Structure 1
Amino acid sequence: MATVTLDQALANARQLLNGQPDAALAQARAIIDEVPTSSAAHRLAAQALRALGREEEAEAASLAAVSAAVHDEAMVAAALALAENRLPDAEGALRGRLREDATDVAAIRMLAEVAGRLGRYEDAEKLLSRALQLAPGFGAARANLATVHYKQNRFAKAAETLEAVLGDDPDNPAHANLRAAALGRIGGYDEALALYAELTRRFPDHAKLWMSYGHMLKTVGRQDDGIAAYRHALAADPGLGEIWWSLANLKTIRFGAEERAAMEAALAAADPTRTQTALVAAEPDSDARADDRLHLHFALGKAYDDAGEHGPAFRHYAAGNAIRSDQLGYRAAETSAAVDAIIAACTPEFFAARAGAGNPAPDPLFILGMPRAGSTLIEQILSCHSAIEGTMELPDIPALALGLGRETKQDGRRWIEALAEAPLADLGAAFLERTAVQRKTDKPFYIDKLPNNWLYTAFIRLILPNAKIIDARRHPLDCCFSNFRQHFARGQAFSYGLGDVGAYYRDYVRLMAHIDAVQPGRVHRVIHETLLDDPEAEVRAMLAFLDQPFEEACLSFHANARAVRTASSEQVRRPINRDGVGQWQPYEKWLDPLKDALGPVLTAYPAVPADFR
């Protein structure tokens, strides 16, 4: 069939769709008989079948159209633009395609990929949901939807979606790996470990799989097994910097001269062409060389620190931080502006006008503050209490706040303004619903220990007025330098510059001082060094604030076998100690940018500077 004849036949079929779906179907099938690779004809057949109420046949026709799209020059061109990361070109071509035919599920899925790469996950989710509505059996779209759920921190939904995907494609290692990661985020450790054990059996030389397995083993307290998994990963790929950092991040391993030499050699040999078969769909590696180098720098910083060679240690920490800072592009002024806006908006009158408007549930207990300030220790202590369940760092408070801003102001940074008219009780209920999957016991209270929730303290007070809040605070130089030495798996963009982390700490202190002033007694502060010096007195004070009786088990927190995901996982499995106190001191001559950024917060610690109120 000549091209013009094909175009005419397609146009005729489209006209017949309006009122004569039977005739349109016959025309589409006639075209398919002559040109089986015509994706347009398959889509027309699907539309006609759908108009006739023959949904199963319509779905099959939609999937046939997806298969035929590989022969479509326009779709091949859009796919090439995606592969070359020419996102505006791909988006323009795909939107044009969908203006012509809004039921082209292949184009819908590709447009969702564009949206996902641009971080527009809500748009990606809507597009993929539409594709699956048209073609429920479109496995690639369903797998993409699971990745979008994972990126949105909706881990339970990602795991559920992946269960369906694996039902259709049980041998797909990428899907199994992502499901294991999602299960780990919602406390499904046994199933996650079983998946990783099976994956490493099938792919015994895949370094990143062994590394992920090691992460999960470490989380559940199987440190020796975790170290063995990391060592297996290193044997498979000695140059993969993230494995060296994973070992260093245990905080219990001291690297010897031979291992330092191996890391230095790997750093010198870091090569952008070195690749590893990608099985972690949720965490694509955009710059293998930079990522390897930054991980190796952080690991070498720890190695030289252990050896007492502070000059080389600081040089490596600074180099690793510089790479990550360039990648993230953190702007300290934006955090300061957000704090200014919260302080201006959240006056005593603002709170008084909304008293009792939130959800009354007392269940959540928030531990917040700076990362590396002792929040994991506090959680470990409190989770030993018979009435309190520990969970992990939950992403839901920031997600709800930023989502509120997007819905009302079309700008995720404007949630503060949106609070004035926000449905506070509904938001509190949404938090309880979203976090229910994290509760594994019948204890009446549970902990969310996301440190960065300090920025949302006012939001928490409004949507969950009966929830308890504990502020974990550590000496600013110890806390900030500990952040500078730490490479975080995600987030914490402020931590990769001494000036930035100091400014972040200062903003945190001034916002918490404001909360103390406008909501007196609503936040209980735990000074880390005081907790180390007199743990029983501090534990009793915390439990009194929580209206819970003292229990001796809380003082034996290190015996608690619960899973711990944070960088302090191994430290809180030891009795209380002062090993982390004063670790900034050997590096003092390099810390002037940090001291300058901290300003009066440094000299006033642990008190709050009066001019901050």
Structure 2
Amino acid sequence: MSTNSTSPSDERILRMGVAGHPDSAQAHAALASFLCAAGRVDEALAHLDREMDRQPSKIWPRSIKAGILSGERRAAEALDVHRALVAMAPEIPLLWANFGSDLAAVGDVDEAAAAFRTTIERAPGFGPAWLGLANLPGAPFGDADIAAMERGLIVTRDPYHKVQLLFALGRGYGAFGDLERSFGKFTEANALRDTLVPHDGAGLAAFVEAHDILRSSFFADAAGPSPQADSAIFIVGMPRSGSTLVEQILASHPDVEGAGELFALPEVAASIDAFAAPDAFVRRLQALTPAEAAQLGTDYLVRAGRYRRTDRPYFTDKMPANWRLIAFIRRILPGARIIDVRRDPLACCLSAYMTYFNRHTDFPNTLEDLGRYYRHYLAMMEMAEDWTPDSLYRLDHARLVSDAEQEIRALLRFLRLPFSSSCLRPEKNSRAIYTPSAQQVRAPIHHGNDRSHAYLPWLRPLQAALSAG
């Protein structure tokens, strides 16, 4: 059972398109995208390098190359390409914004801020640049910035840019202590996003409930051998629970590579048409033969391996929403370890409500739905504790920041890894990080700022939803 959807005939057609239209950026982009999808990233990059040599004055080969490197989590390699691009076309805002994003990923905060501000000079309503600034440490906004963002809301026509501007304004007003206006901007941001990326709460509820028929005996009977299955460490939970910090700690261990938020697991799940109906996933799980399950495990490892850069024996997959696929993990990778990161529900949900999620992420946009989402997550994890008693570890974020060494030692014992003092200093790890918490985990382990008490007057719907049921 293979998850590879590319075919030689598709490649021939794309190469014919390039041959027939050698100066077409679209034709070259389509071929490069195909090669990347087939796991042939270096071949795609070599193709673009040849085009850069052939057409040194053209922007598009470098732009496509920078996009591929960024998408492949190779931000450090992308930076020189970005520098060449902004030198060639300094008037294009998007090039500066992309440059700023990769600078932020590698932790170059000052240059990232400069790149974002250059973007804004050229396009005052460019939402991603304002949000990029908001995600940098400290309080980067002044009164003039707040006024500029308010004007940007009026001039920008892109609804996603508006959503990002609203989130940035929420941060800005919050930093100035205007909490009512701050929360109002977050509410506007989520309301607008709901019109663009509506959350399927009913579908999620049915999906979780369908798992209730599974029992630990099913996994014990069905779990077959899976090659290298114990190399994967899944970090799951709610967004803004502290999962990025946990991954940064583990990635500081000499035996663990931090691979970031991977889409490999949901891609493999989708390859077996698991999401056709809420209960289709469980039915498909029950029908898998041991050989099919092992092949799916191999497919996952191949897809995840695309993002690996070292030969360390273990790697992390820190996609929080993989909590939905706990049963799938247990079925196709029975040797994998799973870490469930928990944080205070109110603080965690509020932080998620204040966070921008992209157009491809199904996530709640109202406080009520957010509380229900949290309850669905808890319900799935309670079932998972029965399915995976020996391969699931619940990590409490409060304990981690209060007594880091004790909690890290316990986590490493669960993973069967020797203690390494480097895990106590995750801020020393210079790896690229692509989540909103990137800059926070570049500081020593500490208690974060719990804003839920300050915003409590507006959180009654969330409190009610969390306590319902």
TM-score by length of 1: 0.70
SS class of match (1:585): coil
Measure, in 2, the Cα distance between the counterparts of 1:300 and 1:382.
34
Kindly indicate whether the alpha-carbon contact (under 8 Å) linking 1:405 and 1:413 is maintained by their aligned counterparts in 2.
Answer: no
Instruction: Give the alignment partner of residue 529 of structure 1, picking from 398, 407, 414.
Output: 398
1:599 counterpart letter in structure 2: S
Residue 544 (structure 1) aligned with residue 410 (structure 2): no
Residue 221 (structure 1) aligned with residue 107 (structure 2): yes
Residue 161 (structure 1) aligned with residue 47 (structure 2): no
1:540 counterpart letter in structure 2: R
Report the equivalent of 1:247: 133
Kindly indicate whether the alpha-carbon contact (under 8 Å) linking 1:469 and 1:524 is maintained by their aligned counterparts in 2.
Answer: yes
Report the equivalent of 1:3: none
Report the equivalent of 1:416: 282
2:95 counterpart letter in structure 1: L
1:292 counterpart letter in structure 2: H
Residue 392 (structure 1) aligned with residue 278 (structure 2): no
Residue 262 (structure 1) aligned with residue 148 (structure 2): yes
How far 1:225 sits from its partner (Å)? Answer: 1.2
Report the equivalent of 2:120: 234
How far 1:595 sits from its partner (Å)? Answer: 1.8
How far 1:128 sits from its partner (Å)? Answer: 4.5
Deviation per CA, 1:483-508, whole angstroms, max 9, x where unpaired?
A: 11011235433242212221111111
Report the equivalent of 2:14: 132
Measure, in 2, the Cα distance between the counterparts of 1:554 and 1:292.
38
Report the equivalent of 2:456: 588
Measure, in 1, the Cα distance between the counterparts of 2:398 and 2:13.
55
Report the equivalent of 2:72: 186
Kindly indicate whether the alpha-carbon contact (under 8 Å) linking 2:156 and 2:162 is maintained by their aligned counterparts in 1.
Answer: no
Measure, in 2, the Cα distance between the counterparts of 1:308 and 1:506.
31
The change in CA–CA distance for 1:426 and 1:566 in structure 2 (over 3 A counts) is same
SS class of match (1:368): strand
Report the equivalent of 2:444: 575
Instruction: Give the alignment partner of residue 507 of structure 1, picking from 376, 388, 391.
Output: 376
The change in CA–CA distance for 1:487 and 1:401 in structure 2 (over 3 A counts) is same
Kindly indicate whether the alpha-carbon contact (under 8 Å) linking 1:248 and 1:299 is maintained by their aligned counterparts in 2.
Answer: yes
Kindly indicate whether the alpha-carbon contact (under 8 Å) linking 2:196 and 2:359 is maintained by their aligned counterparts in 1.
Answer: no
Kindly indicate whether the alpha-carbon contact (under 8 Å) linking 1:404 and 1:412 is maintained by their aligned counterparts in 2.
Answer: no
The change in CA–CA distance for 1:157 and 1:598 in structure 2 (over 3 A counts) is farther
Residue 323 (structure 1) aligned with residue 192 (structure 2): yes
Report the equivalent of 1:455: 324
Measure, in 2, the Cα distance between the counterparts of 1:223 and 1:298.
20
1:386 counterpart letter in structure 2: P
The change in CA–CA distance for 1:579 and 1:165 in structure 2 (over 3 A counts) is closer
Q: Greater CA deviation, 131-140 or 212-221?
A: 131-140
Answer 1 or 2: higher relative contact order, Cα 8 Å, separation at least 6. 2
2:293 counterpart letter in structure 1: L
Measure, in 2, the Cα distance between the counterparts of 1:600 and 1:491.
29
Structure 1: runs of 5+ lacking an equivalent: 1-121, 273-287, 602-613
Report the equivalent of 1:402: 270
Instruction: Give the alignment partner of residue 309 of structure 2, picking from 440, 458, 470.
Output: 440
Q: Percent identity?
A: 35
CA RMSD of aligned residues (A): 2.6
1:262 counterpart letter in structure 2: A
The change in CA–CA distance for 1:126 and 1:317 in structure 2 (over 3 A counts) is farther
The change in CA–CA distance for 1:205 and 1:134 in structure 2 (over 3 A counts) is closer
1:592 counterpart letter in structure 2: R
Kindly indicate whether the alpha-carbon contact (under 8 Å) linking 1:163 and 1:179 is maintained by their aligned counterparts in 2.
Answer: no
Report the equivalent of 1:35: none
Measure, in 1, the Cα distance between the counterparts of 2:405 and 2:43.
43
Instruction: Give the alignment partner of residue 334 of structure 1, picking from 195, 203, 218.
Output: 203
Measure, in 2, the Cα distance between the counterparts of 1:459 and 1:270.
46
Deviation per CA, 1:71-120, whole angstroms, max 9, x where unpaired?
A: xxxxxxxxxxxxxxxxxxxxxxxxxxxxxxxxxxxxxxxxxxxxxxxxxx
The change in CA–CA distance for 1:254 and 1:562 in structure 2 (over 3 A counts) is same
SS class of match (2:309): coil
Measure, in 1, the Cα distance between the counterparts of 2:64 and 2:376.
36
Say how many residue pairs are matched.
Answer: 457
Measure, in 2, the Cα distance between the counterparts of 1:124 and 1:362.
28
Kindly indicate whether the alpha-carbon contact (under 8 Å) linking 2:206 and 2:279 is maintained by their aligned counterparts in 1.
Answer: no
Deviation per CA, 1:410-449, whole angstroms, max 9, x where unpaired?
A: 7798333222233111111111111223222221111111
Report the equivalent of 2:215: 347
Measure, in 2, the Cα distance between the counterparts of 1:410 and 1:304.
43
Q: Based on CA coordinates, which of the two structures has the bigger radius of gyration?
A: 1
Kindly indicate whether the alpha-carbon contact (under 8 Å) linking 1:358 and 1:462 is maintained by their aligned counterparts in 2.
Answer: no
Kindly indicate whether the alpha-carbon contact (under 8 Å) linking 1:128 and 1:142 is maintained by their aligned counterparts in 2.
Answer: no
How far 1:355 sits from its partner (Å)? Answer: 2.5
Deviation per CA, 1:280-326, whole angstroms, max 9, x where unpaired?
A: xxxxxxxx1x2232121111100011111100001111011111111
Measure, in 2, the Cα distance between the counterparts of 1:342 and 1:455.
10
Kindly indicate whether the alpha-carbon contact (under 8 Å) linking 1:270 and 1:292 is maintained by their aligned counterparts in 2.
Answer: no
Report the equivalent of 1:207: 93
Report the equivalent of 1:609: none
Measure, in 2, the Cα distance between the counterparts of 1:399 and 1:461.
16
Instruction: Give the alignment partner of residue 378 of structure 1, picking from 241, 246, 269.
Output: 246
Instruction: Give the alignment partner of residue 164 of structure 2, picking from 258, 274, 295.
Output: 295
